[in-house]
Amino acid sequence: MKTAMIFGTRPEAIKMAPLYKKMKEKGIEAKIIATAQHREMLDQVLELFEIKPDYDLNIMKKGQTLSELTSRLVTKIDEILKKEKFDNILVHGDTTSTFLGSLAAFYNKIPVGHVEAGLRTNDIYNPYPEEMNRRLTGTIAQYHFAPTQKAKENLLKENIDEKNITITGNTVIDALLWVKQNKQKDIEKIKEKYNIKDKKYILITMHRRENWGEPIESVMKAIKKYINENKEMHIVFPVHLNPVVRETVNKILGKEEKAILIDPVEYLEFIALMDASHYIMTDSGGIQEEAPSLGKPTLVLRKTTERPEAIKAGTAKLIGTEEKEVYQAMKEMETEQYEKMSKASNPFGDGTASEKIIQFLKNK
Ligand code: UD1
Ligand code: UDP
Pairing of strands 316-318, 88-92: unpaired
Ligand nearest the Cα atom of residue 38: 1
- For residue 358, give the 3-state DSSP assignment: helix
- Non-local CB neighbours of 270 within 8 Å, separated by 6+ positions: 238
Ligand nearest the Cα atom of residue 268: 2
Residue 108 has pLDDT above 80, yes or no: yes
pLDDT at 185: 67
Q: Which of 147, 152, 138 is nearest to 353 (CA)?
A: 147
- Structural domain spans, the chain: 2-170+350-362, 184-342
Catalytic residue list contains 232 = no
Catalytic residue list contains 135 = no
Which amino acid appears at position 339 of this protein? E
pLDDT digit string, tens, across residues 10-28 = 999 999 999 999 999 999 9
With 0-12 / 13-18 / 19 or more C-beta atoms within 10 angstroms meaning exposed / middle / buried, residue 276 is: buried
Catalytic residue list contains 116 = yes
Spatial separation of the C-alpha atoms in residues 257 and 253, rounded to whole Å: 9
The answer to whether the beta carbons of residues 286 and 147 sit under 8 Å apart is no
Spatial separation of the C-alpha atoms in residues 92 and 15, rounded to whole Å: 8
Q: If you measure from the C-alpha of residue 159 to the centroid of ligand 1, how many angstroms do you get, rounded to a whole number?
A: 32
Q: If you measure from the C-alpha of residue 185 to the centroid of ligand 1, how many angstroms do you get, rounded to a whole number?
A: 27
DSSP count for the chain of H helices, then E strands: 16, 13
The answer to whether the beta carbons of residues 189 and 168 sit under 8 Å apart is no
pLDDT band at 198 (very low <50, low <70, confident <90, very high): confident
Same fold, 2-170+350-362 and 184-342: yes
With 0-12 / 13-18 / 19 or more C-beta atoms within 10 angstroms meaning exposed / middle / buried, residue 137 is: buried
270 lines ligand 2 (CB under 6 A): yes
Q: If you measure from the C-alpha of residue 108 to the centroid of ligand 2, how many angstroms do you get, rounded to a whole number?
A: 31
pLDDT band at 212 (very low <50, low <70, confident <90, very high): very high
With 0-12 / 13-18 / 19 or more C-beta atoms within 10 angstroms meaning exposed / middle / buried, residue 83 is: exposed
The answer to whether the beta carbons of residues 321 and 218 sit under 8 Å apart is yes
pLDDT band at 195 (very low <50, low <70, confident <90, very high): confident
For residue 208, the ligand 2 atom closest to its alpha carbon is 24
Q: Which CATH number fits domain 2-170+350-362: 3.40.50.2000, 2.30.110.10, 1.10.1040.10, 3.10.580.10?
A: 3.40.50.2000
- Non-local CB neighbours of 287 within 8 Å, separated by 6+ positions: 205, 274, 280, 298
Looking at residues 81-105, what average pLDDT do you find? 97
Catalytic residue list contains 192 = no
- More confident site: 277 or 188: 277
- Name the superfamily (CATH) of residues 184-342: Glycogen Phosphorylase B; (3.40.50.2000)
215 lines ligand 2 (CB under 6 A): no
| Percent of all residues in the chain with a pLDDT value above 70, rounded to a whole number | 100
pLDDT at 180: 85
Q: How far is CA 27 from CA 21, 112, 168, 239, 306, in A?
A: 10, 21, 21, 38, 35
For residue 130, the ligand 1 atom closest to its alpha carbon is 11
pLDDT band at 184 (very low <50, low <70, confident <90, very high): confident
Q: Which of 171, 167, 165 is nearest to 148 (CA)?
A: 167
Spatial separation of the C-alpha atoms in residues 283 and 128, rounded to whole Å: 12
Mean pLDDT, rounded, of the chain = 96
Which amino acid appears at position 352 of this protein? T
pLDDT at 182: 87
Mutate to test the pocket of ligand 1, among 134, 206, 241 (most ligand atoms within 8 A of CB): 241
pLDDT digit string, tens, across residues 40-71 = 999 999 999 999 999 999 999 999 999 999 99
* Element (DSSP H or E) covering residue 13: helix 10-25
- For residue 40, give the 3-state DSSP assignment: helix
